[in-house]
Amino acid sequence: MTINESQKPIQRKIIHLDMDAFYASVEQRDNPDLQGKPVVVGGNPSSRGVVATASYEARVFGIRSAMSCYQAQQLCPQAVFVRPRFEAYRAVSQQIHQIMFHLTDIIEPLSLDEAYLDVSNNCNPKFQQSATLMAKWLQTEIFNQTHLTASAGVSFNKMLAKIASDIHKPNGITIITPEQAPVFIANLPIEHFHGIGKATAKRLHQMNVRNGGDLRNIPIETLIDNFGKRGKFYHDIAHARDNREVKSQRKHKSIGSETTFEKDLTDESMLLTQIYTQNAAAYRALKKKNKQAYTIILKIKYSNFTQITRSHTLHTPFTDEQSAHYWLNKLFADVPKKLPIRLVGVTYSGLSEQTEQQLNQLGLFE
Ligand code: DCP
Ligand code: MG
């Protein structure tokens, strides 16, 4: 994957990914007896437990998340009730995040099974900068690796991507382009907008506002008079405006090292030596934190202070400092060299914890 951060796109490309009937699908995958059956994951129907989620077979009977298990059993006496196994769900969650990192490191998880991805900077030629192709790849790769299905929404902001991912569930992809957005929103019932709760929907209904089109026709002043600050938000969403960024948890998302030269350099072999030195420092820092990385990023800043990054993502993590040399060489070859260079940096991202097994292999527990 190649990212070029200096060329910021005019419009964002956001994918919202959401696993289908997540806990229940994991239970059905891991226990063939449950496949094809109405499965309810949650508490005990004879005590005061609630439904965490239900398989699609159980949803036919009207069973929904947060309903009491007692009620669920009344609706579908043949339903099989199982207790949640959070470890299994966390493991799948980690797996799907690793897959997402192949597309971008700007990932904002909302829960174990749901995340926003900002893929605006993905320049991998395989995807031709098409977020739809990326979403399809994500779905296929998740299915191949986990045997679970996911649905995706693709759009130019978070709000629309999230609404879109729900439209063709399960195993669907829905795209809302900037051209389609006005009509899509005009027809969307207001209770389907995220951020408009039941009470607000009721008040809007009283104002004869039933869908996005009606909402768009209400002057912003009227909305602010009625709903205070939220009024501006309602006005914005009716106009498909949502500038919220995808907030990746950058804290441990990357580890790197960079250096600024006293005098700008042009000599390629000297530059490569400097890149290797930064790589050594970055790799040491990575190991110190017991992390492993799937992505390596080369950063170059030119004498005129413009900067570019080039990156590559592997299917298996980097195993040693030298294994990165090959990729750094390739990435550096790809970088324009018309101007002298004032800074080089190497960053590892797509990080995960080094597992105990891997630590054992390294002899650290012996
Ligand atoms: N969950 C929960 N309690 C809730 C809602 C959800 O414990 N009230 C858990 C169980 C779900 C998981 O979170 O499997 C993901 O929530 P979703 O809302 O994405 O629901 P599902 O993935 O189960 O179904 P869908 O196919 O509608 O996404
Ligand atoms: Mg889900």
Place 130 in a pLDDT band, splitting at 50, 70 and 90.
Answer: very high
CA of 291 to the centre of ligand 1 (A): 30
Give the relative orientation of helices 131-146 and 86-101 as an angle to the nearest 10 degrees: 140
Q: Which atom of ligand 1 is nearest to the CA of 51?
A: 3
Mean pLDDT of 261-286: 96
Q: Which two tokens stand for residue 210?
A: 């039933």
pLDDT of residue 30: 98
pLDDT given at position 23? 97
Q: Is 64 in the pocket of ligand 1 (CB under 6 A)?
A: no
Question: Smallest Cα–Cα separation from 157: which of 171, 139, 178, 174?
Answer: 178
User: Which residue in 287, 292, 333, 286 sits closest to 313, CA to CA?
Assistant: 292
Which residue's CA lies nearest to atom 3 of ligand 1? 52
Q: Record the pTM.
A: 0.70
Q: In what order do the strands lie in the sheet with 107-111?
A: 107-111, 114-118, 14-19, 150-155, 173-175
Residue 363 has pLDDT above 70, yes or no: no
Q: Which ligand is nearest to the CA of 56?
A: 1
Contact 12, 106 (CB under 8 A): no
In terms of pLDDT, which residue wins out, 358 or 159? 159
Residue 116 CB neighbours (<10 A): 24
Q: How far is the CA of 51 from the centre of ligand 1 (A)?
A: 10
Supply 161's token pair: 């991507």
High-pLDDT (> 90) share of the chain, %: 79
Which carries the bigger pLDDT value, residue 306 or residue 1?
306
Q: Find the ligand nearest to 23 CA.
A: 1
pLDDT the model gives residue 252 = 60
Which bound ligand lies closest to the C-alpha atom of 90?
1
- Angle among Cα 224, 227, 228 to the nearest 5 degrees reads 60
Q: What's the confidence (pLDDT) of residue 251?
A: 57
Per-residue pLDDT of 277-327, as tens digits, reads 999 999 999 998 888 898 999 999 999 988 888 999 888 889 889 989 999
The catalytic residue among 57, 108, 114, 141 is: 114
Q: Is 210 helix (H, G, I), strand (E, B) or coil?
A: coil
In terms of pLDDT, which residue wins out, 251 or 86? Answer: 86
* Residue 164: both structure tokens together: 């879109």
> Which of 19, 26, 63, 65 gets mutated to test ligand 1 (max ligand atoms within 8 A of its CB)?
65
Nearest-atom index, ligand 1, CA of 20: 26
What does the pLDDT look like over 45-102, one tens digit per residue?
A: 888 889 999 999 999 999 999 999 999 999 999 999 999 999 999 899 989 998 999 9
Q: Give me the sign of the Cα torsion angle 257, 262, 266, 269.
A: negative
Ligand 1 center from residue 27 Cα (angstroms)? 13
CA distance 328 to 283: 13
Q: Nearest Cα to 1, choosing from 107, 94, 104, 115?
A: 104
Q: Which of 15, 19, 10 lies closest to 176, judged by CA?
A: 15
- Classified as helix, coil or strand, 115 is strand
The token pair at 60 is 């036919």
Ligand 1 mutation target, pool 20, 22, 149, most atoms within 8 A of CB: 22
Coil vs helix vs strand at 352 = strand
Ranges of H-type helices in the chain: 22-30, 56-59, 69-75, 86-101, 131-146, 158-165, 181-187, 198-206, 212-216, 220-227, 230-238, 268-288, 323-333, 356-361
Question: What confidence score (pLDDT) does residue 89 get?
Answer: 94
Instruction: Identify whether 262 is a catalytic site residue.
Output: no
Q: Ligand 2 mean position to 143 CA, how many Å?
A: 14
Give 335's DSSP letter: S
The dihedrals phi and psi of 296, each to the nearest 5 degrees, come to -120, 140
Which two structure tokens, joined as six digits, stand for 325?
Answer: 């040399």
pLDDT of residue 355: 52
Mean pLDDT of all residues in 129-155? 97
